[in-house]
Amino acid sequence: MKRVKLKVAYEGTQYHGWQLQKNGETIESQLNLHLSALLKEDIQVIGASRTDAGVHALSNIAIFDTSHRMPAEKISYALNQRLPEDIRIMESVQVASDFHPRKCASKKTYEYHIYHAPFPNPLIRNTSFFTYVDLNLSKMKRALPYFIGTHDFKSFASIHSSAETTIRTIYELCIDEDGPLIKIRITGNGFLYNMVRIIAGTLLEIGQGRMKPEDIPEIIAACDRSKAGPTAPAKGLTLYSYEFVDGEDKPLHLL
Amino acid sequence: MKRVKLKVAYEGTQYHGWQLQKNGETIESQLNLHLSALLKEDIQVIGASRTDAGVHALSNIAIFDTSHRMPAEKISYALNQRLPEDIRIMESVQVASDFHPRKCASKKTYEYHIYHAPFPNPLIRNTSFFTYVDLNLSKMKRALPYFIGTHDFKSFASIHSSAETTIRTIYELCIDEDGPLIKIRITGNGFLYNMVRIIAGTLLEIGQGRMKPEDIPEIIAACDRSKAGPTAPAKGLTLYSYEFVDGEDKPLHLL
């Protein structure tokens, strides 16, 4: 028996999110289906980040155990032959049998993309949120430093969040402009349910002058979801990278 | 009666190219259908560049005549309400009644995107050509200057090309690397049928060591399609911009 870690990329448009649902395809259901067929065992993956419907990933993480003798690093190639083309395994490696992605210290980076122009760009319509409203980018940028550091982010968590603690650390938050594409990039040790989308929604409020950059400390201190901006649409969000800080995921070269 | 110029963006994946076909939807058929419904006239657009099936555009050009009293610049908004979301009108303006996009001096810029990694990126699977083969980028870049200038590009035209002359001028040709994404950008006064895809295919041959950068002058001089590389797949190609050199397309402010 060995434990295998997958790095999974997907366009979430066609799926009901990561997590198994009674009705509708999910990333998890697709992985379980095709892994089970490939390895001729009943495989149930465990995901690191349960992304919502419409959210994308370049690097989400899943683990599973198998007694199949296929070398772990070959599984990516074989599984990609079976998966639909909007899901791809970027890497498969063997990890320690007690490695669990949600029980390891990790650094996650998300990007939220806003396409800011008079009309939507059809080439990135599924991976960006389109808006034509006036946005004051320099005000949005002035708000960023207030988020950095360790805070109770309860104001930026969906009320449906079931997290034990709402304290999280944000290492980096920046906005890059690539022509009409505004890229909000955020790195932290973890994110509450909808946290990145609520931060993006709050920055959009600031960009439109409905909130001020200087309001952020007060919004954080309130620990009240209703003080922050709305949850920005799912399609603009992509999980970019998932890094395990203490390296428990290093592949075991036992084969 | 007025002549209206549209700037049209589309993801070409779901279409049989620009030009009307007996079977299958095309960009032209969609524009005719929805413009005719909107303006309550039989509208037949004339396109500047008849892109192939699977090729995309951020800025293709179409013109049509209408006697409808809707101001030209409002047509983009109204038409975007009707078009499928993979086609968007980025601009609509009135132009001189004798303006014809294929009879004007113009500068066109295309990009050909190659996603060069072990596995495809699902987020850009429709707008880039994926390859995992070894590519020597510096060799590919060394080939670029040979294409610049005015040449007979017969070797880089599909044998199905019906152009009167195969002489074209390339103003700029460069390769930018954005992580694993290789962007070939080319600007010229016009391109023969499949010319950008054959140049991309030839650069890919050079990157794999099957041709040499220094072979390009000889390939051009041969005026023989069989001397150049294969035609790279359509999905990697996007028409980025279309500029009319002498400004005949300047909107008429008569309204």
Please report the domains of chain A, with CATH numbers, ordered by start residue: 2-99 (3.30.70.580), 106-241 (3.30.70.660)
- Given an 8 Å threshold on Cβ–Cβ distance, is A9 in contact with B121? yes
User: What is the pLDDT at residue B163?
Assistant: 73
Determine, for residues A123 and B238 on separate chains, whether the beta-carbon distance falls below 8 Å: yes
CA distances from A171 to A29, A174, A190, A193, A252 (A): 33, 10, 10, 18, 29
HEC sequence for chain B: CEEEEEEEEECHHHCCCCCCCCCCCCHHHHHHHHHHHHHCCCCCCEECCCCCCCCEEEEEEEEEEECCCCCHHHHHHHHHCCCCCCEEEEEEEEECCCCCHHHCCEEEEEEEEEEECCCCCHHHCCCCEEECCCCCHHHHHHHHHHHCEEEECHHHCCCCCCCCCCEEEEEEEEEEEECCEEEEEEEECCCCCCHHHHHHHHHHHHHCCCCCHHHHHHHHHHCCHHHCCCCCCHHHEEEEEEEECCCCCCCCCCC
pLDDT exceeds 90 at position B23: no
Identify the pLDDT of residue B247. Answer: 60
Amino acid A254: pLDDT: 38
A180 in B contact zone (CB under 8 Å)? no
In this predicted structure, the answer to whether residue B182 has a pLDDT above a threshold of 70 is yes
Q: What is the pLDDT of residue A252?
A: 44
Amino acid identity at A84: P
- What does pLDDT average to over chain B? 94
Say whether B120 and A88 touch across the interface (CB within 8 A): yes
| pLDDT beyond 60 at B110 | yes
A121 contact residues in B (CB cutoff 8 A): 9, 58, 88
**Residue A127 pLDDT exceeds 50:** yes
Q: Is the pLDDT of residue B184 over 50?
A: yes
- Per-residue tokens: B68: 């409808």
Classify residue A42 as exposed, middle or buried by CB count within 10 Å of its CB (0-12, 13-18, 19+).
exposed
Among candidates B11, B88, B121 on the partner chain, residue whose Cβ is nearest the Cβ of A119: B88
Higher pLDDT, residue B252 or B98: B98
Q: Please tell me the predicted confidence (pLDDT) of residue B102.
A: 87
Residue B251 — pLDDT band, cuts 50, 70, 90?
very low
Q: Is the pLDDT of residue B234 over 50?
A: yes
Say if residue B134's pLDDT is above 60: yes
Q: How far is CA B140 from the centre of its chain?
A: 22
Residue A169 is predicted with a pLDDT of: 97
DSSP chain A: -EEEEEEEEE-GGGSS-SS--SSS--HHHHHHHHHHHHHTS----EES--PPTT-EEEEEEEEEEE---S-HHHHHHHHHTTS-TTEEEEEEEEE-TT--GGGS-EEEEEEEEEEESSS--GGGTTTSEEE-S---HHHHHHHGGGG-EEEE-GGGS-TT---S--EEEEEEEEEEEETTEEEEEEEES---TTHHHHHHHHHHHHHTTSS-GGGHHHHHHHT-GGGS-PPPPGGGEEEEEEEETT-TTPPP---
CA dihedral A7, A13, A17, A20 (to 10 degrees): -90
Cα dihedral B150, B152, B158, B164, rounded to 10, equals 100
pLDDT category at A247 given cuts 50, 70, 90 is low
pLDDT (average), residues A127-142? 98
Does the pTM of the predicted model rise above 0.80? yes
pLDDT at position B248, please? 52
Q: Using CA atoms, how far apart are residues B51 and B57, in angstroms rounded to an integer?
A: 8
**CB–CB contact B90 A10 (8 Å):** no
Q: How confident is the model at residue A23 (pLDDT cuts 50, 70, 90)?
A: confident
pLDDT for residue A244 is more than 50: yes
**Tell me, what's the pLDDT at B85?**
97
Tell me if residue B65 is catalytic: no
Residue, of A24 and B254, whose pLDDT is higher: A24
- State which amino acid sits at residue A138: S
If pLDDT is split at 50, 70 and 90, which confidence band does A118 have? very high
pLDDT at residue number B214: 97
**Residue A255: its pLDDT value, please?**
33
Residues ≥6 apart with Cβ < 8 Å to B197: B112, B231, B232, B233, B234, B236, B237
How confident is the model over A136-183, as pLDDT tens digits? Answer: 999 999 999 999 999 999 999 998 777 789 999 999 999 999 999 999
The percent of residues in chain A predicted with pLDDT above 70, rounded, is 96
Per-residue pLDDT, A162: 73
pLDDT digits (tens, 9 = 90+) for A54-91: 999 999 999 999 999 999 999 999 999 999 999 999 99
Contacts of B90 in chain A (CB under 8 A): 118-119
Kindly report, residue by residue over B204-227, the tens digit of the pLDDT: 999 999 999 999 999 999 999 999
* Nearest C-alpha neighbor of A86 from the set A62, A116, A57, A51: A57
Q: Which of residues 36-55 of A touch B (CB under 8 A)?
A: none
Q: What percentage of chain A reaches a pLDDT higher than 90?
A: 90
Q: Is the pLDDT of residue B253 over 60?
A: no
For A178-219, write each residue's pLDDT tens digit.
Answer: 999 999 999 999 999 999 999 999 999 999 999 999 999 999
